[in-house]
Amino acid sequence: MKMSVLVSVVRLIYSIRPASAVFIALMIAGCASVSSSQWDKLYGQSTPREIADKPVSPKQSPAKLTYYQHTRPILEQRCVVCHACYDAPCQLKLEAYEGLLRGANPEKVYDGTRLLGASLTRLFEDATTTAEWRNKKFHPVINERNNTPVANINAGVMAQILKLKQDHPLPADAVLADSFDFNLDHNQSCSRIETFNGYAQKNPLWGMPYGLPGLNAKEYKMTMDWLAQGAAMGTPTPISAKVERQLADWETFFNGDSLKAQLVNRYIYEHLFLAQLYFADAPRTYFRLVRSATPPGQPIKRISTSRPFDEPNVPRVYYRLWQDPSSIVAKTHMPYALDKKRRDDWEMLFYNADYTVTQLPSYNPETAANPFITFAELPANARYRFMLNEAQFTIMNFIKGPVCRGQVALNVIQDHFWVFFLAPETQNSKGFEKFLADSSKHLQLPASSGNTFLPLTNWLKYSELQKEYLYSKAQYVNQVVKEERGLGIDLIWSGDNGKNPNAALTIFRHSDSASVHQGLIGQPPKTAWVIGYPLLERIHYLLVAGFDVYGNVSHQLLSRLYMDFLRIEGEMNFVTFLPKKSQQQEMDFWYRNAESNLQTYLDLFINQLNEKNNIVYKTDNPKLELYQKLQQHLGNAANSPHNLRTNTLNPEQLALYEKLQGTSGIAISFLPQTTIIEIPGKGLFTLVHNSAYSNLSSLFGEDKRRIPAEDNLTIARGVIGNYPNSFLRVEDQSLDAFVAEFQAMRSDADYRKLRDTYAIRRSNPDFWAFSDHVHELYFRNQPKEAAILDYNRLENR
């Protein structure tokens, strides 16, 4: 551009708005970046924006638009669908206004290669002011300079990146170009306002929402007007007086002074610290149980540590209920009711039982990480029942907690399996208490090692401890079964005669995420687990309470390797119920071409058992028989609203859906992990692609252990999973054609043709309208579990 033309343009703009003239002139001149000092001259110095900051100046009218009263729904529906949890791009967590003020940081939380543990950056915990976040290398995404409409737009990354999408909308291509990088591990571009010009010049199509259509005219105007007015917070909806009274009542309960009360409440806290606690009078208002240095009645002074059992460094820990203002996202949504029944259950389990707590345990890492030592004075059956009564929630902590993303943690489980539990009566005897006490030294967990630099040495130590435990466990099981005069189906928890829906769970792994659901969903899976108290507790302290998402590669590797022990143990528990001659055969099939040390664990446990099996088998498929017997034993607890047969489908429709589910072979290989299908008039269904493996005994080389010919599908009613990979809309009258075309797929071209007809691609101009419709159906039909879905894994095909 010639200088004379540039000067003319500057003069023209300057006559309208001086500051804008300089800003636009810099843009036109092609400056890749503008120094902070230049921004200071334009809009004043940057000052961290705090809650309730930026008072209205005398020359400025009060903001008319606020976050809580106007723009929060837009941010939830268009921004939070990608920017939430630990895997939010650039750590820009937009679930809460406080996350918007905190801003962005290019350092990744999920990094399986770091040698040193990362700095903790948990919103609401590891800093209390924006200034503190700036010291932790977070930079602003909304203007922190002079609070004027021009500065709020020109000096705000969020405003500029939304404007970039409006100026450069998605191309009309159905499949977006390779210049869009949708790989979860892609290099992040976390632009500051000083470098935004260069970002926009290099990537004009990378406005937000990234790789998706822009906001519609109404949404864009409201959001930009809000930003121009200063992005005011507004006022959240106050808690009702009734809920305030319930809060006070529960905080009194959580802070009893006796040694028993303090130990019980420490146990409750270490198991509920991730829970979204709620009351029936405010079912979508959630609270977190936190440790505080201050008692009820005083402002919460939060004790923030890496793990819930770390040293609090205060004379007395108080457990307080803190209201979480965050939007509810599906990938971390774990609701847990506080009500009279809950209180009565806990009173019965922990306070009505006859036992004495003689002293409070320490927070020494070597023992605090081992719940079998820390809580040895609490009845084991009470601890088991506490977790068992809400087993879905207990397992969900592993699925949705610190490992809300990551194959390192999740490639330890099969893509589809069922979970059953040992009856509480089997864990409620003096013999069991003695076995647990004698075994506590064998039940050490990797959390006690912290960010170790010696994963192999520690793995060998834990491997030997696990072998010793399995041998001792085999001797104990033999004794118990002998006393019971044989092994029977009644050793499995029936959910209190089918009344508790947590008695049977279905777990789906979706590559690097997973989901857990009540009831037995889908066709009989290849594998299943049976879990008792020691196994359930170790899963929690390995992958929830003791897992550090900010930990180094050795910590994460050791946690994954230890989980191998727990998976194998759960599978062996299940296989124990099969006929003796089938046990080795079944495990051999599950671990084809696996490392030879697997046989060591079988020899130490399964092959040490000499119990009499009272379960009568009549066919050459005893595993299927066992599944059928368990379903009958569980009664209503085996049912799931996700199953096709539990809903009102006529025989023709049911046959068609089951034909689709019965697809096998190459056609399945083209599918992503989860596909949400809307059938107008029938609702939402999820098509889950279950990948098959020869074994899961190795951390690496997963692709070499894939057996695509054994892949299968589960079609379920409603939404399964939190990260949909694909959306389809299939009219009811087109189902026959869709199933036929689907089963005929033989190439990527065939899959793309199928999507050309039925898909709502991420590039579709109507994508957001369809997204809103999906969420409306999701919240209407699954009100307890429904929350905002995550679109970081949407495919581009």
Q: Which two tokens stand for residue 710?
A: 């054994």
Sign of the C-alpha dihedral, residues 402, 82, 211, 753? positive
Pick the closest to residue 445 from 375, 541, 321 (CA basis). 541
> In this predicted model, which residue has the larger pLDDT, 338 or 697?
338
As a whole number, mean pLDDT of residues 576-595 equals: 92
Express each pLDDT in 303-333 by its tens digit: 999 999 999 999 999 999 999 999 999 999 9
pLDDT level of residue 12 (50, 70, 90 thresholds): very low
Helix (H, G, I), strand (E, B) or coil at 575: helix
User: What integer pLDDT is reported at residue 454 of this predicted model?
Assistant: 55
User: b or e along 373-396 (b: 16 or more beta carbons within 10 Å of the residue's beta carbon)?
Assistant: bbbbebbbbbbbbbbbbbbbbbbb
As a whole number, mean pLDDT of residues 542-554 equals: 79
pLDDT level of residue 469 (50, 70, 90 thresholds): confident
Q: Give the Cα separation of 643 and 773 in Å (integer).
A: 22
DSSP 296-349: TTS---B---SSTTS---SSS-EEEEEE-----BGGG--EEE-SHHHHHHHIII
Determine how β-strand 683-690 pairs with β-strand 674-679: antiparallel
Helix (H, G, I), strand (E, B) or coil at 282: strand
Pick the closest to residue 254 from 312, 306, 322 (CA basis). 322
Express each pLDDT in 70-125 by its tens digit: 999 999 999 999 999 888 999 999 999 999 999 999 998 877 666 667 788 999 99
Pick the closest to residue 669 from 705, 730, 723, 710 (CA basis). 710
User: What integer pLDDT is reported at residue 656 of this predicted model?
Assistant: 86
Express each pLDDT in 377-386 by its tens digit: 999 999 999 9
Lowest mean pLDDT among 99-103, 244-248, 339-343, 579-583: 579-583
Lowest mean pLDDT among 6-10, 418-422, 441-445: 6-10
Q: Give the Cα separation of 381 and 377 in Å (integer).
A: 12
Provide the CB-side half-sphere exposure for 596 (13 A, CA): 0
Report how far apart the first and last C-alpha atoms of the chain are (Å, whole number).
39
User: What integer pLDDT is reported at residue 741 of this predicted model?
Assistant: 96
Contact, 332 vs 383, CB < 8 A? no
Sorted by sequence, the CB contacts under 8 Å of residue 293 that are 6+ apart come out as: 301, 303, 312, 314, 317, 318
pLDDT level of residue 627 (50, 70, 90 thresholds): very high
User: What integer pLDDT is reported at residue 453 of this predicted model?
Assistant: 54
Kindly tell me if the per-residue pLDDT of 596 is higher than 90: no
Helix (H) or strand (E) holding 40: helix 36-43
Lowest mean pLDDT among 50-64, 544-558, 559-573, 714-728: 50-64
Pick the closest to residue 494 from 301, 630, 325 (CA basis). 630
> Among the ranges 46-50, 347-351, 402-406, which has the highest mean pLDDT value?
347-351
Q: Give the Cα separation of 615 and 488 in Å (integer).
A: 6
Helix (H, G, I), strand (E, B) or coil at 470: helix
Helix (H, G, I), strand (E, B) or coil at 536: helix
Express each pLDDT in 325-334 by its tens digit: 999 999 999 9
